[in-house]
Amino acid sequence: MEQVGILKQALPYIRQYKNRIFVIKIGGELIQDVAGLDDMAQDISLLYQIGIRVMLVHGGGPQATALSRKLGIAPKIVEGRRVTDEETLEVTKMIFAGKINHEILTMLRKHGAKSVGLSGIDGDVVIAKRRKPVEYVNRETGEVESIDYGHVGDIMKINTELLEILLEKSYVPVISSLADDGEGHILNINADTVASRIAAAVHAYKYITMTNVSGILQDIKDPESTISYVSQKDAKKLIENGTIQGGMAPKVRECVYAVEHGVKRVHILNGLEKNSLLVEMFTSTGGGTMILSEDEIEEYISSGF
């Protein structure tokens, strides 16, 4: 009987979400464990089976770092972003568009979700240009420094044509974060950036970032201090005052971008917690952090959606 109650609790959410577009970004740290990937693929396939139009964007930072070290290449990360020289670019091509993409496709197929592996290069989905050297404040020294990120791209435009065709034909696009500049040069782009831009371009109802933390923490030292929901304006303030720092800061900035460009609900979830996606989507309690516009907060409180 308890299982029946759970199904009834989920029913209003299923009605609300049917035929909506969800863009889900999966961090590379969640794909390292086969059993964990299997569980996640099962949860995503459930969304697919009940009529939600799902798109996945994946990273692969830990795997790229591991392979780089095996090959004697020292990875360099600045402000949460990977510097991509010639050798690192070869690693990202092998890991992102090859190993990880196919592992996700295989698990989705196992659980009945038709899927297609892509990169931003396929169908000109991501139109980008090489990033120019940028200045940043070194948090350790306080000095302004310049960094050339190498073969790293900045997104100019998202072309949704191929994605829309795939969704219309009931496929799950699984997208790695590579693009090109139209002049024969492949570019590495942060997966959170690709995911947020795609979510905005396809007018997604939800953008969900699945990572290895439970959401935005009020106290970075206290894993139980998760903030349940926050406006995009307050999320910016949390970055500015240092509550959000390190690799979480660029993730939250992309979440804010999605909200400010029309995505109704944005979630940060701990993908290492079993069924965290389903708990967040189909229960009133949830489990991560939701970021939404100030105008939407009142509607969320009153409706629960």
**For the segment 53-108, what is each residue's pLDDT rounded down to a tens digit?**
999 999 898 899 999 999 999 888 776 678 899 999 999 999 999 999 999 999 99
The pair of three-digit structure tokens given for residue 38, joined into one six-digit string: 């299997």
Q: Comparing C-alpha atoms, which of 184, 174, 191 is closest to residue 82? A: 191
pLDDT at 140: 75
Residue 236 phi, psi (nearest 5): -60, -40
CA distance 18 to 169: 15
pLDDT at 297: 79
Residues contacting residue 109 through CB under 8 Å, at least 6 positions apart: 115
Name residue 24's beta-bridge partners: 56, 208
Task: Give the CATH number of domain 2-303.
Answer: 3.40.1160.10
Q: Among residues of the chain, what percentage have pLDDT more than 70?
A: 96
Residue 114 phi, psi (nearest 5): -70, 130
CA 229 to chain centre: 18
**For the segment 154-212, what is each residue's pLDDT rounded down to a tens digit?**
999 999 999 999 999 999 999 999 999 999 999 999 999 999 999 999 999 999 999 99
Strands (E), 67-224: 77-78, 81-82, 115-119, 126-130, 134-137, 144-147, 153-158, 172-176, 178-180, 186-188, 206-211
Task: For the chain, state the CA radius of gyration.
Answer: 19
| Angle formed at CA 198 by CA 53 and CA 156, multiple of 5 degrees | 160
- Domain layout of the chain by residue ranges: 2-303
Let me know: does 188 contact 89? Beta carbons within 8 Å: yes
The pair of three-digit structure tokens given for residue 144, joined into one six-digit string: 């302004």
**pTM of the full structure:** 0.92
| Side chain identity, residue 1 | M
pLDDT at 5: 63
Residue, of 81 and 235, whose pLDDT is higher: 235
